[in-house]
Structure 1
Amino acid sequence: MINLLSYTCIVLGIFFWFWGTLPLLGDRSVLFKLHSLSVADTLGSMSIIIGLLLKIPSEWPLLILAIISLAIWNTVLGYVLAYCSSSEGSHE
């Protein structure tokens, strides 16, 4: 049962990775494309890490650190992108 749940999380993560690339083909703005890609990649990566956590629970400290790092990195990257795209954050 744990193996099935683990593989389900990993396949779901790979699905999110591919699903996040679909908006890149659209006509939306670059920032919308970056946002949707980063959200889908974050969810996909976290899902894969949770699947690995279920598969190899002996490595839980490293995998929890990976999840926390993903969450912090993508939050900071989102703020940096928002600041760079705002009119106040533009080059003066």
Structure 2
Amino acid sequence: MIDTLSYLCIGVGIFFWFWGTLPLVGDRSVLFKLHSLSVADTLGSMSIVVGLLLKIPREWPLLVLALISLAIWNTVLGYVLAYCSSGGGD
């Protein structure tokens, strides 16, 4: 049961990775493309890490650190992109 749930999480993560690349071929703005790509990449990566956490629970400190790092790093990167696109407070 745990293996099935683990593979399901990893599969959902890979799905999010590919789903996030679809807006790149659209006619939207570059910032919309970057936002959708970063959100899908974050969700996909976190889902894969959760799947790995279920698969190899003895590595939980490292995998929880990876989850926290993904959440913080990608949120900060989104704010940096928004700040840079707004002209830097000018």
TM over 0.5: yes
Normalising by the smaller structure, the TM-score range is over 0.9
Q: Which runs of 5+ in 2 are unaligned?
A: none
Using the TM superposition, give the Cα deviation of residue 68 of structure 1 relative to its aligned residue in structure 2, in angstroms.
0.2
Q: Give the TM-score normalised by structure 1.
A: 0.95
The size of the alignment, in residue pairs, is 90
Using the TM superposition, give the Cα deviation of residue 37 of structure 1 relative to its aligned residue in structure 2, in angstroms.
0.1
Residue identity opposite 1:86 in structure 2: S
Q: Give the TM-score normalised by structure 2.
A: 0.97
Q: Which residue of 2 aligns with 1:61?
A: 61
Aligned-residue sequence identity (percent) comes to: 84
Residue identity opposite 1:64 in structure 2: V
Q: Which residue of 2 aligns with 1:19?
A: 19
Q: How does 1:3-82 map to 2 (within 5 A)?
A: 3-82=3-82
Take 1:75 and 1:47, find their aligned partners in 2: how far apart are those partners? Answer: 16
Aligned partner of residue 28 in structure 2, secondary structure: coil
> How far does the alpha carbon of each residue in 1:21-53 deviate from its partner, in whole angstroms, 9 at most, with x for none?
000000000000000000000000000000000
CA RMSD of aligned residues (A): 1.0
Aligned partner of residue 52 in structure 1, secondary structure: helix
Using the TM superposition, give the Cα deviation of residue 8 of structure 1 relative to its aligned residue in structure 2, in angstroms.
0.1
Using the TM superposition, give the Cα deviation of residue 20 of structure 1 relative to its aligned residue in structure 2, in angstroms.
0.1
Residue identity opposite 1:85 in structure 2: S
